[in-house]
Chains A and B, each alone.
Chain A
Amino acid sequence: MSAAIETHDLSKRYRRVSALTGCTVTVPEGRVCALIGPNGAGKTTLLRLLAGLAQPSGGSVAVLGGPPRQDPAFLADIGFLAQEIPLYRRFTAADHIQIGAHMNPRWDASLVRTRLTELRIPLDQRVGTLSGGQRAQVALALTLAKRPRLLLLDEPVAALDPLARRNFLATLTAAVADAEGSLTVVLSSHLVTDLERVCDHAILLAGSQVQLSGDIDTMLAEHKVLVGPRKDTGPIERAHTVVQAVTTPRQSTLLIRLGGPVIDPAYQAEDVTFEELVLAYMGAGEASASRHLTTVGEGS
């Protein structure tokens, strides 16, 4: 399986502010990848670098086999939806469908019409007068109508109510299923539960650095929560990587990345949930921005 996205030591600076540092990630083709991190972690920057809307300050980035570039064939393969849901507010959805038809070689106008009709979104009403959820649906349908091979979605559900969010993610899941493994999706959000439902791959960003990236199942298998008496954690730290340690006067709870089997019988090893894992790494990222990045095996 080839990589849809491959970055190496990718960085982006805006004047003196570093938005992304030393980002090395791989996303295999056909995955739905969650891009998770607090506000300002560099999610938008990474997505814009992948879409070719921004130029890297350092490192390398390969998207669908080459660097993002101003080339009609490359642009045709990329579907990008920015957080602000950029549409021409005074144009109708029908206008946008026609614009798309004039600007894309393989344009599936009937796909947009069908999806919007199903969702009862009027095609002949100015986009600016639609609700936020409807607008997001229009924008997603237009992005899918390009028939892209890589879909980059920046916080698409952030402004939506729970019902609209469910509809949006259902549309997305259906599109991934229809594509039968030829569509790769990167979806940024800070709503972890939503993401876990639709994603099988994740990149955790904090403090403009990658904290963890890889297959979610592999991530979960490689981490454990150890609950045991409060005592010297030295032996644990030597055998494993402690991501987060919470101690009370009586017991310690350690979230570790396994370096081998846990042999200390004093600890009880529990499975970790995705949300626990994300929060632990976010906390770790906030605590030390200089933490070296960790990449979980790709499992492929």
Chain B
Amino acid sequence: MTWVVWRQYRMAGAIALALLAALAAVIIVDGVQIAARWHSVLVTCAGSSACLEQQPTLVNGVVSDLPYLCLIVPAVLGMLWGAPLVAHELEARTSDFAWTQSVTRTRWLTAEAGWLLLAAAVCGGAVAALTTWWSGPINAMTGGAFAPGQFDTQGIVPIGYAVFAMALGIAAGTVFRRTLPAIAVVLGGFIGMRLVISNFLRPHYLPAVTTYYHLTSSFTPPGQAWVFAQGAVSSTGTTVAAGWGDLYPALQPACQRLLPSVAGQGKSDSLSAVFSCMQAHGWRGFATYQPAYRYWPFQGIETGIYVLLAAALVAATFVIIRRRDA
């Protein structure tokens, strides 16, 4: 069966390989330049974070958007290879040829789907590896490993996305028996699932950590943490995350008087007076965040979710292929 899959997809595979090579060439050329710029920034600033913040961004030009292009690679694979896998065989009636050779439909699907899922994982992994390497200096400078557009294009999650999109295409093509609706399902289903999981599920993979600290001191979660909220909390539980306007009504009258009369124009000494006053009245500083060391566990959890979804879709496809009339 492996030879049959190879014969069916060798042209598509060659095209995919060529596109991947072109992408790699562009990313590597641009990545080398970015790394050089980052080097000179490091030399210039010599460890001063204020200096780092004033540097222009490392990326420029169209190439800077390439990692975001990589976000749609899994969906494209699912639409072009996954959706037609079963649907096109049924549309062209070649299923009547393939499924009356001396190979059971289960074995046929195992080979076809198996190789395509593997190809999706390899493509997703290759693109992710390139993007991860390219983003190294940018990650170091901007410090947002968990930021959307960084978390989803680097590490191992793109492999999970690619496997999921491929499985979704195969399953949708099997259910609808037509390629076009299956392609629409991949596009809608993939984008929908990504939005739901990254917005509603990802922040809760592990319970967030809350650190309380003296208002008179400052606190920054170490490393590239994912900060959900930071501010002050009173002894009665009132929280103020940001903005003087919110702070004023929550404060005790004694502290209210210390606030700068016009928002945003306070001097730092008057601010520290406010903080001291708040501290004296039972306020504490707090920060709720996912610590930086959870980056890889989060990558693993998210990849696992998508791989499990893909496994469920593939299992459903096997049941349908076996039971339903060809």
Contacts and interface: CB of A to CB of B under 8 A. Distances in A.
Contact of B7 (A55, A79, A80, A98): A98
A76 B93 CA distance: 20
Contacts of B4: 99, 102-103
Contacts of A99: 3-4, 7, 101
B325 A104 contact: no
A103 B106 contact: no
Contacts of B107: 72
B96 interface: yes
B102 A55 contact: no
B104 A53 contact: no
Contacts of B325: 48, 53-55
Contacts of A79: 100
A75 B103 contact: yes
Interface string A90-106: 01000100111011110
Interface string B91-111: 011111111111111110000
B96 A82 contact: yes
B104 A71 contact: yes
Could you say which of A73, A87, A95, A99 has the most chain B C-beta atoms within 10 Å of its C-beta? A99
B93 A84 contact: yes
B1 interface: yes
Interface string B295-326: 00000000000000000000000000011011
Nearest to B326: A53
A55 B105 CA distance: 14
B40 to A, nearest CB: 53
Given A84-B93, A88-B94, A102-B1, A53 B100 contact: yes
A150 B99 CA distance: 16
A51 interface: yes
B106 A86 contact: no
Nearest to B97: A86
Contact of A86 (B1, B8, B95): B95
Given A86-B92, A87-B94, A89-B92, A53 B99 contact: yes
Contact of B1 (A53, A73, A80, A103): A103
Interface in B188-247: none
Contact of A95 (B7, B104, B323): B7
A80 B104 contact: no
A180 B54 CA distance: 90
Nearest to A14: B325
Given A53-B325, A53-B326, A70-B106, A100 B93 contact: no
A117 B22 CA distance: 44
Could you say which of B1, B7, B101, B105 has the most chain A C-beta atoms within 10 Å of its C-beta? B101
Contacts of A55: 323, 325
Chain A: interface size category: 20 to 34
A73 B323 CA distance: 19
Interface in A184-221: none
Contacts of A88: 8, 92, 94, 97
Interface string A45-61: 00010010111000000
Contact of B105 (A54, A70, A91): A70
Contacts of A176: none
A91 B100 contact: no
Given A95-B7, A98-B7, A53 B96 contact: yes
Contact of A103 (B95, B102, B105, B323): B102
Interface in B59-114: 92-107
B101 A98 contact: no
Contacts of B98: 103
A75 B107 CA distance: 13
Contacts of A82: 93, 96
B5 to A, nearest CB: 10
B96 A146 contact: no
Nearest to A91: B7
A70 B109 CA distance: 13
Contacts of B96: 53, 80, 82, 84, 86
Interface in A30-73: 48, 51, 53-55, 70-73
B94 A86 contact: yes
A76 B98 CA distance: 12
A136 interface: no
B100 A78 contact: yes
A247 B162 CA distance: 73
B7 A86 contact: no
Nearest to A105: B102
A80 B102 contact: no
A75 B101 CA distance: 6
Contacts of A53: 96, 99-100, 325-326
Contacts of B105: 70
Interface string B1-34: 1011001100000000000000000000000000
Contacts of A86: 92-97
Contacts of A78: 100
Given A70-B106, A72-B107, A102-B3, 13 more contacts: A48-B325, A48-B326, A54-B326, A55-B323, A71-B104, A72-B104, A73-B102, A75-B101, A98-B3, A99-B4, A99-B7, A103-B4, A104-B101
24 contacts: A51-B100, A53-B96, A53-B326, A54-B325, A54-B326, A55-B323, A70-B104, A70-B322, A73-B102, A75-B100, A75-B103, A80-B100, A86-B92, A86-B95, A86-B97, A87-B97, A89-B92, A95-B7, A99-B3, A99-B4, A99-B7, A100-B101, A103-B1, A139-B97
Closest 3 CB pairs of A and B: A103-B101, A76-B102, A86-B93
